[in-house]
């Protein structure tokens, strides 16, 4: 790979020198009156066709990408606000695509249509108020529409209403992992500070705070389905970002402050695992893994496990050397299963009492 890169750099450097020498030569010849470097009708025609060919190439590669990468789309959102987010995204994409397809065509078509011709002179046009008005006002209207729609969606999603009685959960980020803290019976998180981190107190809970006694610290993020969850994010060290693509949620995790985000999960892990989309995706993935396993085993190494779908919360800020593996499993389940899981966890108060 490195060798390839070096070869590419040397080649590019060579081409640059060659082009530079050409420019130098051109400036010399035009000064001396020779015009053998000026494009003639044949050259212009050739370049005109190249312009047309290039726009066809752009369209072809766009269509190819849509088809080739169609499997990489996320399925239906697994949260309540997800569909609003998806419609915003889809409408923006459609508006941009239509504009791009038309303007790209016009740019290339006009370059072809008005290609240079011997003896032709360009028309001098100082300005045209009407035209300028149209091409200024149209983007203003379209963009304002998109921006207002985006702002409306944003405030709708980010509006945190206490009447919803959300389950309060802290998501704590560190290099390189996540810890979650449930607020317990009182649904209020105890105070915490990085200075209190010691031994089993992994997220720095204030042991003197009575609200903290029923807090539950866990290494898996369990969420009851159809109940609003209010996430409070804290970071121990650097900037991280909590990314939950299936729920269309992402929030920066900033050292020294608490950021928050609320959403309601609507599809359990089990339902997502059994959905048509996921069954098909997992089948394709496991086919790739089986083939890779064969190679590994033939090589005397251990084969790969069969993949099973789980939701994950991932870090989406490049925060250091093990950033790529900074993740925590999310389990969305019916309320009863959530309660059963919670009953098996130890409250912070009991944990410090038994140490
Ligand atoms: Cu991170």
Tell me the average pLDDT of the chain: 88
**What is the reported pLDDT for 48?**
93
For the ranges 44-48, 75-79, 202-206, which has the lowest average pLDDT? 202-206
pLDDT value at position 25?
81
Ligand 1 centre from 316 Cα, in Å? Answer: 7
Supply the pTM of this predicted model: 0.77
Strand-pair category, 240-244 with 249-253: antiparallel
Residue 29 pLDDT greater than 90, yes or no:
no
Residue 33 is predicted with a pLDDT of 53
Token output for 76 = 């239906």
Q: State in Å: Cα 85 to ligand 1 middle.
A: 24
Whether the pLDDT of residue 3 is over 60: the answer is yes
| Range of weakest confidence among 2-6, 17-21, 161-165, 228-232 | 161-165
Spell out a b/e string for 109-145, using b for 16 or more CB atoms within 10 Å of the CB, else e.
eebbeebeeeeeeeeeeeeeeeeeeeeeeeeeeeeee
Distance 317 CA to ligand 1 centre (A): 6
pLDDT the model gives residue 110: 94
Given this model, what pLDDT does residue 157 score?
A: 84
Q: CA 58, CA 55: separation in Å to the nearest integer? A: 5
**Measured in angstroms, how far is the CA atom of residue 322 from the centroid of ligand 1?**
8
CA-wise closest residue to 225 among 111, 84, 337: 337
Q: How far is the CA of 174 from the centre of ligand 1 (A)?
A: 7
Q: Tell me how far the alpha carbon of residue 195 lies from the centroid of ligand 1, in angstroms.
A: 20
**CATH number of the 163-271+308-353 domain:** 2.60.40.420
Q: How far is the CA of 244 from the centre of ligand 1 (A)?
A: 13
In angstroms, what is the span from residue 246 Cα to ligand 1's centroid? 19
In angstroms, rounded to a whole number, what is the distance separating the alpha carbons of residues 101 and 91?
A: 15
pLDDT of 35 > 80? The answer is: no
Between 215 and 133, name the one with better pLDDT. Answer: 133
Identify the pLDDT of residue 123.
Answer: 84
Quickly state the pLDDT bin for 205 (edges 50, 70, 90). confident
**Residue among 129, 336, 348 nearest 218 (CA):** 348
12 CA from centroid of ligand 1 (Å):
37
Question: What local confidence, expressed as pLDDT, does residue 31 receive?
Answer: 57
For the cut 90, the answer to whether the pLDDT of residue 286 exceeds it is: yes
In angstroms and rounded to an integer, the radius of gyration of the C-alpha atoms of the chain is 30
Phi, psi (degrees; rounded to nearest 5) at 285: -60, -45
Q: How far is the CA of 312 from the centre of ligand 1 (A)?
A: 14
Could you tell me the distance, in angstroms and rounded to a whole number, from the CA of residue 326 to the centre of ligand 1? Answer: 6
**Amino acid 216: pLDDT:** 86
Given the DSSP bridges, would you call strands 249-253 and 229-235 parallel, antiparallel or unpaired? unpaired
What was the pLDDT predicted at 34? 54
Give the tens place of pLDDT for each residue, 104-122: 999 999 999 998 888 888 8
Contact 209, 191 (CB under 8 A): yes
Give the distance (Å) from ligand 1 centre to CA of residue 176: 6
Token couple for 202: 């992994």
The rounded Å distance from CA 197 to ligand 1 centre is 19
User: From the CA of 237, how far away is ligand 1's center (Å)?
Assistant: 9
Give me the half-sphere count of Cα atoms (radius 13 Å) on the Cβ side of residue 144.
Answer: 5
Output the CA 163–ligand 1 centroid distance in Å. Answer: 32
Contact 211, 189 (CB under 8 A): yes
Query: Region 285-300: what's the mean pLDDT?
Result: 91
Q: Work out the average pLDDT over 135-156.
A: 91
Three-state SS string over the chain comes to CHHHHHHHHHHHHHHHHHHHHHHHHHHHHHHHCCCCCCCCHHHHHHHHHHHHHHHHHHHHHHHHHHHHCHHHCCCCCCECCHHHHHHHHHHHHHHHHHHHHHHHHHHHHHHHHCCCCCCCCCCCCCCCHHHHHHHHHHHHHHHHHHHHHHHHHHHHHHCCCHHHCCEEEEEEEECCEEEEEECCCCCCCCCECHHHCECCECCCECCCCHHHCCCEEECCEEEECCCCEEEEEEECCCCEEEEEHHHCEEEEECECCCEEEEECECCCHHHHHHCHHHHHHHHHHHHHHHHHHHHHHHCCCCCCCCCCCCEEEEECCCCCCCHHHCEEEEEEECHHHHHHHHHCCCEHHHHHHCC
User: CA angle at residue 57 from 54 to 62, to 5 degrees?
Assistant: 130
- Report the separation in Å between the CA atom of 117 and the middle of ligand 1, taken as the mean of its atom positions: 59
Label residues 17-33 b or e (16+ Cβ within 10 Å = b). Answer: eeeeeeeeeeeeeeeee
pLDDT at 241 over 60: yes
Gap from CA of 328 to ligand 1 centroid (Å): 11
Cα of 315 from ligand 1 centre, angstroms: 5
CA of 178 to the centre of ligand 1 (A): 9
State the sign of the Cα–Cα–Cα–Cα dihedral 348, 352, 354, 355: positive
Maximum mean pLDDT: which of 174-188, 311-325, 338-352: 311-325
pLDDT at 206: 79
Residue 208's pLDDT band (boundaries 50, 70, 90)?
Answer: confident
- For residue 259, the CA-to-ligand 1 centroid distance in Å is 15
């Amino acid at each position: 790979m490195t060798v390839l890169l070096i070869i590419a750099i040397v080649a590019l450097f060579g081409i640059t020198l060659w082009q530079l020498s050409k420019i130098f030569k051109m400036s010399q010849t035009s000064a001396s009156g020779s015009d053998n470097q000026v494009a003639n009708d044949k050259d212009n025609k050739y370049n005109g066709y190249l312009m047309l060919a290039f726009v066809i190439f752009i369209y072809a590669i766009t269509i190819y990408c849509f088809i080739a990468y169609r499997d990489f789309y996320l399925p239906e959102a697994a949260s309540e606000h997800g569909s609003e987010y998806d419609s915003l995204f889809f409408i923006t994409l459609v508006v941009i695509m239509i504009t791009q397809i038309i303007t790209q065509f016009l740019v290339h078509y006009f370059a072809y249509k008005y290609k240079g011709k011997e003896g032709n002179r360009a028309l001098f046009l100082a300005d045209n108020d009407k035209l300028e008005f149209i091409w200024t006002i149209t983007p203003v209207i379209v963009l304002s529409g998109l921006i207002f729609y985006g702002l409306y969606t944003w405030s709708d999603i980010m509006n945190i209403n206490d009447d919803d009685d959300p389950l309060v959960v802290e998501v704590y980020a560190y290099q390189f992992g996540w810890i979650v803290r449930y607020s317990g019976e009182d649904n209020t998180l105890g105070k915490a500070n990085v200075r209190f981190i010691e031994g089993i107190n992994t997220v720095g809970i204030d042991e003197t705070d009575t609200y903290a006694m029923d807090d539950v610290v866990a290494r898996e993020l369990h969420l009851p389905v159809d109940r609003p969850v209010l996430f409070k994010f804290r970071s121990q060290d650097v900037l991280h970002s909590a990314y939950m693509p299936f729920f269309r949620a992402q929030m920066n995790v900033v050292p020294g402050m608490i950021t928050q985000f609320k959403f309601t999960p609507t599809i359990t892990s089990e339902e997502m695992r059994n959905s048509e989309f996921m069954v098909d995706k997992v089948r394709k993935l496991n086919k790739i893994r089986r083939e890779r396993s064969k190679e590994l085993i033939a090589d005397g190494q251990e084969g790969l496990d069969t993949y099973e779908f789980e939701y994950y919360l991932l870090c989406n800020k490049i925060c250091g050397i093990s950033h790529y593996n900074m993740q925590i499993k999310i389990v969305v389940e019916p309320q009863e299963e959530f309660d059963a899981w919670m009953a098996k966890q130890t409250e912070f108060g009991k944990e410090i009492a038994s140490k």
